[in-house]
Structures are given as C-alpha cells and as structure tokens.
Amino acid sequence: MPASVETTTVDPSHNQSAPANAHTPARAEEGAGEPAGGEALRPHAEQAFAAELAALAAQDDRTRPARWKMSPWAVATYLLGGTLPDGTIITPKYVGPRRIIEVAVTTLATDRALLLLGVPGTAKTWVSEHLAAAVSGDSTLLVQGTAGTPEEAIRYGWNYARLLAHGPSRDALVPSPVMRAMAEGMTARVEELTRIPADVQDTLITILSEKTLPIPELGQEVQAVRGFNLIATANDRDRGVNDLSSALRRRFNTVVLPLPESADAEVDIVSRRVDQIGRSLDLPTTPDGIDEIRRVVTVFRELRDGVTTDGRTKLKSPSGTLSTAEAISVVTNGLALAAHFGDGVLRPSDVAAGILGAVVRDSAADRVIWQEYLEAVVRERDGWTDFYRACREVSA
C-alpha cells in the first residue's frame, strides 16, 4: 500500500443499491415497549428482545470492550437467561452448556473471529444472530454464503450508474455488510461459510489478519475500527464441499454447538420456540401440547441415536437429520392444524404427517426403517395407541 493511501469512512446511507445481501439495518429503539418492526413476520433479535437488551445494558456496570453495547458477562446472560438485580427476567435464547457461550463471547472480544460449527439445526444461525444483537445492537450486517457468493458480497460493489457518470469514487462504491461492520466497529455475520467458493472465502484472510480492506480502484483502504469482529457459521455435513483453507481456519476460534444432551433439554428447547413462533402466528397456546412435544422429541432422538430410550432395541437411522429445528417445525405445523381444523388441542394426528415427512425423505430405505420402528417400537408402547393409529393412517 503506498504511503498516500487515505483511510476512509463508509457512508452507511449508501445501501439502496448494495450488492447481494446488504440491506438497511432496522435498529431497535432501545427501551421502546412496542418492538420496532411490529408488523414484521419475523422481527430481528434486537427488535424482538429490545426490552431485555435495554434492561441488561442499563444494569450492566462491568467493563465493556470498545463499542460493545454491554459487557461480555451481560451478553452471556442475554443468551443463557437469568434474573437481573431489579427483577427483570431474561429469557434463555440458547439452551446448552454455559461454557460454550462464554467461550464464544470471549472470542468476540479478542482479535480472533468466531466460527460456529455443528450439525444442522444446532442453533448456529440463532446463536450468531443473538450474539450480534447483544454485542453490537444490530444483527443485520449479514452475508449469506452460497456456491454463488461473489467477492463483492464480502468486499464492496459499485453503483454502475454513478460509476459510469462520475468514474470511480467513494460515492459510487457500495459497501458490503462486512465493510460497514469494519468501518463502524460492529459485528459482521457470514452464514454457511463452507458453501462459499474457496477463492472467495480467502478474501476474508486479509480482513481478519490485517483488519483492513483495500480499495485499489481508489488507492484507499477501509481500516477496521475497534469493536469490529466477525461470526461465521458452517455445517458439519457440508464439510468437504468447500473446506476451509487452513490459512483461514487459523483466523477463527472454532466453537462446536452440540445436539441437546438430554430429551428434557430438547423438549424444553422445542416448547420454548414453538411457543414464541406460535405467538407470532397468532396460534392459540395449547396447555396439553407438552405430551405431543415429548413424543415428537422421543421419536426423533430414538431414530437419530439408533437405539430406543430404554437402550433395549437397536434401530436403523434414516437419512434425514431429524434435528431439533425439524422437531420445532413439526410441532408448529401440528399446532396450526389443531387450531384451524381441530379443536385447538394438539393431538397425535396433528403431528403424525409431519413426523413421517421428516423421517421418510426420498429413499425407499427410509420408508422401511419407519415401518420397522412403527411396528416394533411404537405399537408396543404404553399410551401410544392413538399415535400408532395416526401414523398407520398417514403411512398407508
């Protein structure tokens, strides 16, 4: 870089024609009773939990890293839940080992980036969104990784009308979410990092090691200011598609998110999320739903683990992942069925079709595995007769 290089700032108002994935952040009004994005189908974390975030920031007297909205301790409390001195209840967002979240938050306060790794549906995206919301108050500086993600989505693009009219200038440059995060000292997010082609991934190496993003066309650079860091997520099952280069991997601290350790933990996760999603869809809350949730979780866990809960019967595992995320959607669909076409109470017939769809993907082998499970396990189990009948009906 020549000595004449100037360090510039990025004008965040240039989003209108931003490259793929960049969009205007809708920042939460801190402390506002009604969350911003009131009519949004799915408000961002910082909007949905604006009151909790404001309460945490207000009562947090621990040291905050530069430009953080709260201390690392408060960020961990936001994710794991707790009760504040004034009695405000912080709901748990992540249910799992406390240490994992502590390591993740601490990483964000260092000069290393954070890589969340795990099998599908282990809350990688969910944790990344909530971390960004708590640390920077904005979870929208996001690049979605795909096989077609271009370098511009990570670096910057151009507004071609301005470029043609006035030549290359700061005005014609369209910053990527990562560039904006660097300039403003915020948290950037990259989803599904390993799906991005290897040469495009490598764009991140300079950003993460030099903390700078050169703009050769203008002889300038954007230097990351304090507070900038990056959270990437990657799926275990995609490994090998576009493996991370070891050079890039060294820039990350890797945190592996595990599957829920016990059935109780998984039931807890599913019922919490179903409750939240149900409220956003105006579905009635069903008091008796918990039995059906427990059943869905039991079926998923047994098939996933290849053995029944009592350890007596070995099972074959189907090709699908049967993740917690899928259990959540099976139950949510069941609740919608019960609300719109039943009496509002979640019953075996409301979840049977959803379970079948999750277990039997496209292969004939899955169907055989399901039938065997149905006849050998479900049929024999006390209190499962209704569920057995409902499954027989949809499997026919």
Ligand X SMILES: Nc1ncnc2c1ncn2[C@@H]1O[C@H](COP(=O)(O)OP(=O)(O)OP(=O)(O)O)[C@@H](O)[C@H]1O
State which residue, 18 or 132, has the beta carbon closest to ligand X: 132
* Residue 187 binds to ligand X (criterion: CB under 6 A): no
Cβ count near 362 (within 10 Å) = 9
From candidates 21, 122, 194, 242, binder to ligand X by CB under 6 A: 122
Q: What does 123 interact with, of ligand X, Mg ion, none (CB < 5 to 8 A by kind)? A: ligand X
Given the complex with Mg ion, which of 88 and 125 has the nearer CB atom? 125
Q: Is 78 in the site for ligand X (CB under 6 A)?
A: no
235 scored as a contact of ligand X (CB under 6 A): yes
Alpha-carbon dihedral 328, 329, 331, 337, rounded to 10 degrees: 160
CA atoms in the 13 A half-sphere facing the CB of 74:
26
| Contact call for residue 194 and ligand X (CB under 6 A) | no
Closer of 94 and 373 to ligand X (Cβ): 94
The CB-of-43 to ligand X minimum distance in angstroms stands at 14
CB 351 → Mg ion: shortest distance, Å? 24
| Sole residue written with tokens 């990092």 | 193
Q: Which of ligand X, Mg ion, none sits in contact with 320, Cβ below 5 to 8 A by type?
A: none
Between 126 and 387, name the residue whose CB sits nearer to ligand X.
126
Residue 124 in contact with ligand X, rule: CB under 6 A? yes
How many Cβ atoms are within 10 Å of 319's Cβ, its own excluded?
13
Q: Which is nearer to ligand X, 193 or 390 (CB)?
A: 193
Alpha carbons 288 and 350: distance in angstroms, whole number: 13
Q: Residues with Cβ < 8 Å from 210, sequence gap 6 or more?
A: none
Applying the rule CB under 6 A, the residues between 125 and 184 that interact with ligand X are 125-126
Q: Tell me the one-letter amino acid at 318.
A: P
Instruction: Give φ, ψ of 56 to 5 degrees.
Output: -60, -50
Measured CA to CA in angstroms, residue 262 lies from 296, 317, 361 at distances of 14, 18, 25
Cβ proximity of 335 and 349 under 8 Å: no
Question: Alpha-carbon distance 30 to 46, whole Å?
Answer: 9
Interface stretch with ligand X, choices 202-210, 242-250, 320-328, 365-373 (CB under 6 A): 320-328
Q: Which of ligand X, Mg ion, none is residue 348 near (CB under 5 to 8 Å by kind)?
A: none
CA 108 to chain centre: 16
Rounded CA-CA distance 338/191 in Å is 34
The smaller minimum CB distance to Mg ion, of residues 125 and 209, is found at 125
Q: Between residues 231 and 328, which has the closer beta carbon with respect to ligand X?
A: 328
E-strand ranges in the chain read 6-7, 82-83, 89-90, 113-118, 142-144, 156-158, 173-175, 187-191, 212-215, 220-223, 229-235, 252-256
Q: CB–CB of 128/257 below 8 Å?
A: no
Binding segment (CB under 6 A) for ligand X, from list 50-58, 120-128, 285-293, 342-350: 120-128
Determine which residue in the list 43, 72, 96, 145 makes contact with ligand X, applying CB under 6 A: 96
Binding partner of 325, given Mg ion, ligand X, none, CB within 5-8 angstroms per partner class: ligand X
Contacts to ligand X from residues 258-317, by CB under 6 A: 260, 269, 273
Instruction: Decide if residue 125 touches Mg ion (CB under 5 A).
Output: yes
Q: Is there binding between residue 121 and ligand X (CB under 6 A)?
A: yes
| Between 129 and 184, CB nearer to ligand X | 129
How is residue 28 written in tokens?
């939460």
- Where do contacts with ligand X occur on this chain (CB under 6 A)? 94-96, 118, 120-126, 233, 235, 260, 269, 273, 324-325, 328
Binding site for Mg ion (CB under 5 A): 125
